[in-house]
A and B are shown apart, each in its own frame.
Chain A
Amino acid sequence: MGMIFSLVAVIFLAAIAFMGAKLNLFGLFGVAIPYLAVLVFIAGFIRKVIKWGQSPVPFHIPTTCGQQKSLPWIKQSKLDNPSTTLGIIGRMALEVLLFRSLFRNLKTHRTDGGPVYGSNKWLWLGGLAFHVTFFVVFIRHLRFFTEPVPAWVNTLDVVDGFVQVGVPHMLITGVVLLAAATYLLLRRIFNPQVKYISLPADYFPLFLIIGIAVSGILMRYFIKVDIIKVKELTMGLATFKTTVPDGIGGIFFIHLFLISVLFAYFPFSKLMHLGGVFMSPTRNLANNSREVRHINPWNPKVKLHTYEEYEDEFREVMKSEGLPVEKE
């Protein structure tokens, strides 16, 4: 149900953009909405991060995934159980760039000796492919917002098109992005565990991103749009000298509108894991809590049962067993 709802919602959004283009609402869909979306994104993102930041980290709770630092002759697992800032940077880099934790994923296999918990890297591979290609595609789009286009962005394009298939050259990241997003979606549909836990909020961003990728690919290879005019519009957005060129083609506005929706939706959704992953106290704290005291800003005053109260209650029996007491 969540899936159908999300699919319909994305189709509906695409239809709105298409109607907008048909009705020549270029100013609204080409300028106003993208600006608004970016604004909502920035403000919402900052607001959320501040909100997280306002809640302190009262306790030192890293999840340790390797040997601790203890005696000098015992080899510490410096990345999976770091005790220094450098180690933390390493752990976070592995987590953010290479999805270290997903790499651990296990799956049960049947063997003659019993069930064995073997490695399962598909989710890791799919997730990593999805995020890396998404990032590259995002960077590639800088050429629409810069003039002259920096050399490294052009180089990226060339590298991306290394397979040299089709005219213009097929960019491998776009295809991989679509494939990876589709894999993540199919996983939600066909893996019963994942299906059971999935909410509309899980399908919606996937459909949205698939919609963006499909409209982008269509635009590049099949339903060509006037790229000069597109760049005119995007440069206008980037330089705040907005222009609304005529006759770009409806598919572009679908693409742009879905991106706008993604931006605006971002801060209110699970997509905020982009910011959250850096703030996760089980990952970004060094396992040195016995070495350096962690401060809890709201360390509560609590009622204690003191030794004096204890001795008062048990003095006689303590004396009878020869246990030392403070007061005779």
Chain B
Amino acid sequence: MAIKPKPNELLSGINYKPPLKQWMDEPVEFKKGYYCYGAKPKNLEYIGFPNGREWNSSEQDWKLVDNWKEIFLEGMENLLKKFRSFRLFMDICVRCGACADKCHFFIGTGDPKNMPVLRAELLRSIYRRYFTVAGKLGKIAGARDLTEDVFKEIWYYYYQCTECRRCSVFCPYGIDQAEITMMGRELINLLGCCTDWISGPLANCYRTGNHLGLQPHTIKSNFDYMLDDLEEHTGVRVEPTFNRKGAEILFVTPSADFFAEPGVFTCMGYLLLFHYLGLDYTWSTYASEGGNFGLFTSNEMMKRLNSKIYAESKRLGVKWILGGECGHMWRVLHQYMDTMNGPADHLEAPVSPITGTRFDNAKSTRMVHIAEFTADLIKNGKLKFDPSRNDNLNVTFHDSCNTSRGMGIFEEPRYIINSVCNHFHEMPDNTIRENTFCCGSGSGLNAGEIEELRMLGGLPRAHAVKYVKEKHGVNMLSCICAIDRAVLPPMIDYWMPDVGVCGVHELVGNALIIPGEKERENNLRGEPLPGMEEKGEEE
């Protein structure tokens, strides 16, 4: 039968790879859209990081310093001495595989080196080789030499981990790949191989206090612009203060909330809430960033950036600090800040000035999560809502990795959402709360050049959203994380358009009834409220 072409010939472009080898024998292949650009020397220099240079992560020659290997191994020894977690996690993994299919990057890409256990083994093989007796036996002991290719492999896969800790939930010994990734990235930073997307915001944040490098006057005028919008939608003129000494509370939120959409709408929610309460609080331009890219760079950098919050609270003489909606920001505030930059003796144990509730769970760090603060207000009947203003929304809630697995804030945001919305539906059980799936872009991976990787990493989350969209007609994905608000819109847009993304306090701002407000026709986004659509058209 000559009429049939061999169909395989139609796919001549496809390489059929050789049969499955051991993973150590499989050299790393850098896929386009899966890895970031390298850090620019000027940014590294500004924050005093070593070995900055002009280099390109897609080229063969990374221009590593001559003694890079010694630096790496010395750094590793240093970290092993400093972190019990690191040494322990290098030693006790039994490779049971419970973590393997829990990683959103493995689920999305199918790349076996994205199994958390194997991502850890990339570094463990080096640990065995240079820091254990048995490792001298080489491959049979699971050890291998540190070569430039091995280093690149570590780099490639340690920037394909969002430090979401989902694997850690399922590990029988609590081995946390986030912790191992942090160690790996500390080593990477010793060699000046940070990514451009992380090092830029680091330098900006160090200098100006926020990731985008906004100078104080820009922040101020940007707020004024936002306040105009807010007045237009609500008829209320809100007048926040900046760098004001003697305020009772300092408010810190990720800077994305005041210059990126849809974060600004969440910010409007905060502003309305505080205005309504008559809260004695101030913003700071010096500590204008809650987020902290140091968390996924090095513990020292994390401390340096975080120090601004306590320093500013001391300078301004506030009593305690309130923190906005953010994921990795709260991991730092909850688990690191007090240890790194405390004790916060200049502050007082936080007490809500409205309800008198003492936040005992924050009595040492003296910083309260806004969801805790608002949930307490609602419980005490201090807020009046018109939930029907959110009736055009069918809401679900995305638990952010860091606040879920590094804090455990589950009920507070749900309580708030259920108080301000009439339509709320949970995503499937094993994709929320401590089992939540990452947005796919955390830990400094929200760079544009890895859009493909991020979309694949977000696939499990997208599937869960799709499920509630089809089943319950969900059209709004709410969250308490600024990275989520930045990266979920494009991710959702790619996989299943027509689901929006918002912060929880945007919903609060929509529903909050404020004395003196005009009859609201628009929500905070300037879109007509349910029942007001026609009116909007007439105008």
A289 to B48, Cβ gap below 8 A? no
Contacts of A51 in B (CB 8 A): 87
Tell yes or no: A298 within 8 A of B by CB: yes
Contacts of A295 in B (CB 8 A): 339
The stretch of B91-99, B184-192, B269-277 in contact with A is B91-99
Tell yes or no: B85 within 8 A of A by CB: yes
Give the total of B residues in contact with A, Cβ under 8 Å: 115
B372 to A70, Cβ gap below 8 A? yes
Q: What is the minimal beta-carbon distance from B408 to any residue of chain A, in angstroms? A: 3
- Interfacial residues of chain A within 258-288, with CB under 8 A of chain B in the complex: 268-270, 272-273, 276-277, 279-283, 287-288
Give the number of A-B contacts (CB < 8 Å).
314
Contacts of A119 in B (CB 8 A): 430
> Which listed residue, B82, B112, B169, touches A298 by the CB 8 Å rule?
B82
Given A193-B97, A323-B220, A1 and B22 touching (CB < 8 A)?
yes
Tell yes or no: B411 within 8 A of A by CB: yes
B224 nearest CB neighbor, chain A only: A321
Tell yes or no: B526 within 8 A of A by CB: no
Contacts of B311 in A (CB 8 A): 304, 306-307
> Which listed residue, B48, B176, B367, B463, touches A114 by the CB 8 Å rule?
B463
A289 to B304, Cβ gap below 8 A? no
A318 to B470, Cβ gap below 8 A? no
> Which listed residue, B118, B217, B363, touches A323 by the CB 8 Å rule?
B217
A323 to B285, Cβ gap below 8 A? yes
A123 to B174, Cβ gap below 8 A? no
Tell yes or no: A23 within 8 A of B by CB: no
Number of contact residues on A: which range applies?
Answer: 35 or more
Q: What is the minimal beta-carbon distance from B207 to any residue of chain A, in angstroms? A: 7
B112 nearest CB neighbor, chain A only: A196
User: How many angstroms between the C-alpha atoms of A295 and B307 in the bound complex?
Assistant: 16
The stretch of A11-19, A60-68, A135-143, A149-157 in contact with B is A60-68
B87 to A290, Cβ gap below 8 A? no
User: How many angstroms between the C-alpha atoms of A73 and B377 in the bound complex?
Assistant: 13
> Which listed residue, A106, A115, A269, A322, touches B102 by the CB 8 Å rule?
A106
Give per-residue flags for B422-438: 1 if the beta carbon is below 8 A from chain A beta carbons, else 0: 00000011110111000
> Which listed residue, B118, B304, B363, touches A304 by the CB 8 Å rule?
B304
B408 to A290, Cβ gap below 8 A? no
Q: What is the minimal beta-carbon distance from A145 to any residue of chain B, in angstroms? A: 28
Contacts of B299 in A (CB 8 A): 58-59, 300
Q: What is the minimal beta-carbon distance from A313 to any residue of chain B, in angstroms? A: 8
Given A293-B338, A293-B364, A314-B215, A270 and B83 touching (CB < 8 A)?
no
The stretch of B66-74, B134-142, B253-261 in contact with A is B134-142
B172 to A296, Cβ gap below 8 A? no
A197 to B216, Cβ gap below 8 A? no
> Which listed residue, A69, A200, A321, touches B142 by the CB 8 Å rule?
A200
Most buried by B among A56, A63, A273: A63
> Which listed residue, A48, A105, A289, touches B335 by the CB 8 Å rule?
A289
Tell yes or no: B50 within 8 A of A by CB: no
Give per-residue flags for A105-149: 1 if the beta carbon is below 8 A from chain B beta carbons, else 0: 111100001111111000100010000000000000000000000
On B, residues with C-beta under 8 Å from A are 20, 22-23, 48, 80-88, 91-98, 100-102, 107, 112, 115, 117-118, 121, 132-134, 140-142, 165, 168-176, 179, 206-209, 215-217, 220-221, 242-245, 285-286, 299-300, 303-304, 307-308, 311-312, 315, 333-336, 338-340, 342-343, 357, 359-365, 367, 372, 375-376, 379, 404-412, 415, 428-431, 433-435, 463, 466-467, 470-471
Extra contacts, 8 of them, besides A71-B357, A323-B242 (Cβ < 8 A), are A57-B85, A60-B336, A61-B179, A104-B169, A202-B94, A268-B132, A280-B85, A303-B48
